[in-house]
Each structure stands twice: as structure tokens, then as C-alpha cells.
């Protein structure tokens, strides 16, 4: 049993104290297909500026968390090449017009198979370099807990508090956070370390629902201030 390392910081709807010895940060979908100008989303005409807003925040925050031995978990969408575990509904979401430009397609600017594990498409964006002790988990749904080893990994780390970062805040981040809360984890969304390509009202609703129903929000500045203190 690791000795407790309490960290107290400002949060909403109330100030929090967490145990750093039992805390991890889950960084969701900060990968090329969602956040790189040559990635799939940009290639189909989506403005990815919102998906890139967490990059400088995480560049600053993650080294400080690693220095405190807080595990960093990269949860990226990375499908099997044969897509054998994907139901029709998931394939439809990423190819809604049925033209074949979704999961597995190589027609985008990079030529990398869309959202395929071990491909450039599923790699963390260059600005965010994974550390040697960081953990990578592939996911295949909006929630990173479905059909993945994420829960087992976190339990083995003896983690019960999760910080959430990444994209899209209102989609994969929220779905994973909700499942985490339902599984009994304490959840904290770092509000400036998440982004979305959706309209602003989607972000507003996400922040509201996290605070109202599932857990807490904080900022990277409040975390860094507490870590420095």
C-alpha cells in the first residue's frame, strides 16, 4: 500500500482533495486522425482547431504529473485492421454517407488507414510525446471502457481517481468519464485540457453535466498551482 499523498486544489462545484498515489490522468484521442492537419477529420473538412486546443495545456501539465509519479494513460481510437469487433452502428457513425471514407479508408491526406491501431492515424500527435512509463490503450467505441483492458489496468495501478483530458469533450471524453463514474471511480475533468470540434453549446452542456451528475471540473492552472505548493 503506497503512503497517501494528498493534493488539495480548486475545483467545481467544490474544492477537492485527492490522493496522488491513487490518481491517474486519462488522455483521450489526442491522435493524428483527430488533431493533425493531415488527419482524417481535417481531410473531410472538419475545423480541427478545437481539437488542438488541449495540446499546449497538456505539454505543460503532463511533465508535472509524471514528476509526481501520476500514471499517464493514452486512450486512442485504434481499430483492428479487420474491424472484426466493430458493430454496424460504429461503422456508420464514421461513414454516415456510406461512401467508404470512414474507418480503414486510406483516401485521406496522410494515406494512413483511418483510426487503425499501430498506424499513423492512431498515433499521438507529435507535440505530445508519450513518456517511457506512460500506458497506451486502444479503444473502439466512444467509451474507452467497452471491450478494452482499461478498467483492469487502472485497478492494477490501485487507482480510484481519474483526471480526464483530450477530445472530443462532449463525445469520447464524456462517454469514458460517465462509465468511469458508473464503475466507482472519482472523476475530474480538466476543463482547459479538453477540446471539441462541436459547437460551444455542446461543451457548455458537457461541463454542466460533469459537475451536476458525475464529478468535478478543474483547470490545469489550479492543478499546477497545487502541485507547485
- Cell triple for 53: 486546443
DSSP 81-140: TT-TT--HHHHHHTSTTSSS-STT---STT-PPTTBTTSGGGSBPTTSPPPTT-EEEEE-
Set 33, 35, 138, 139: catalytic member? 139
What is the maximal distance between C-alpha atoms in the chain? 55
Q: Provide the strand spans (E) within 128-227.
A: 135-139, 161-166, 186-194, 216-218
Whether 148 contacts 4, CB under 8 Å? no
Set 35, 138, 170, 172: catalytic member? 172
**Known active-site residue 172:** yes
3-state secondary structure of 34: helix
Rg (CA), the chain: 17
Whether 181 contacts 212, CB under 8 Å? no
Distance CA(125)–CA(33), nearest Å, equals 9
Closest CA relative to residue 190, chosen from 3, 5, 23: 23
**Known active-site residue 139:** yes
Q: Bridge-partner residues for 75, per DSSP? A: 28, 137
Question: Which active-site residues does the annotation give?
Answer: 29, 139, 172
Amino acid at each position: 500500500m503506497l503512503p497517501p499523498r494528498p493534493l488539495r486544489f480548486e475545483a467545481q462545484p467544490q474544492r477537492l482533495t485527492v490522493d496522488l498515489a491513487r490518481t491517474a490522468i486519462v488522455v483521450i484521442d489526442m491522435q493524428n486522425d483527430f488533431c493533425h492537419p493531415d488527419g482524417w477529420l481535417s481531410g473531410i473538412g472538419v475545423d480541427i482547431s478545437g481539437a488542438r486546443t488541449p495540446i499546449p495545456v497538456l505539454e505543460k501539465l503532463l511533465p508535472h504529473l509524471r514528476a509526481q509519479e501520476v500514471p499517464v494513460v493514452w486512450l486512442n481510437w485504434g481499430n483492428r485492421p479487420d474491424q472484426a469487433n466493430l458493430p454496424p452502428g460504429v461503422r456508420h457513425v464514421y461513414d454516415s454517407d456510406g461512401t467508404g471514407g470512414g474507418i480503414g479508408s486510406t483516401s485521406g491526406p496522410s494515406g494512413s488507414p483511418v483510426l487503425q491501431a499501430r498506424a499513423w492515424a492512431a498515433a499521438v500527435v507529435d507535440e505530445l510525446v508519450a513518456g517511457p512509463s506512460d500506458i497506451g490503450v486502444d479503444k473502439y467505441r466512444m467509451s474507452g471502457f467497452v471491450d478494452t483492458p482499461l478498467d483492469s489496468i487502472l485497478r492494477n495501478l490501485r487507482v480510484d481517481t481519474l483526471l480526464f483530458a483530450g477530445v472530443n469533450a462532449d463525445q469520447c471524453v464524456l462517454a469514458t468519464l460517465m462509465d468511469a463514474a458508473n464503475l466507482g471511480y472519482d472523476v475530474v475533468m480538466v476543463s482547459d485540457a479538453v477540446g471539441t470540434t462541436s459547437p460551444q453549446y455542446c461543451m457548455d452542456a458537457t461541463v454542466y453535466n460533469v459537475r451536476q451528475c458525475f464529478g468535478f471540473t478543474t483547470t490545469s492552472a489550479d492543478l499546477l498551482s497545487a502541485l507547485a505548493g
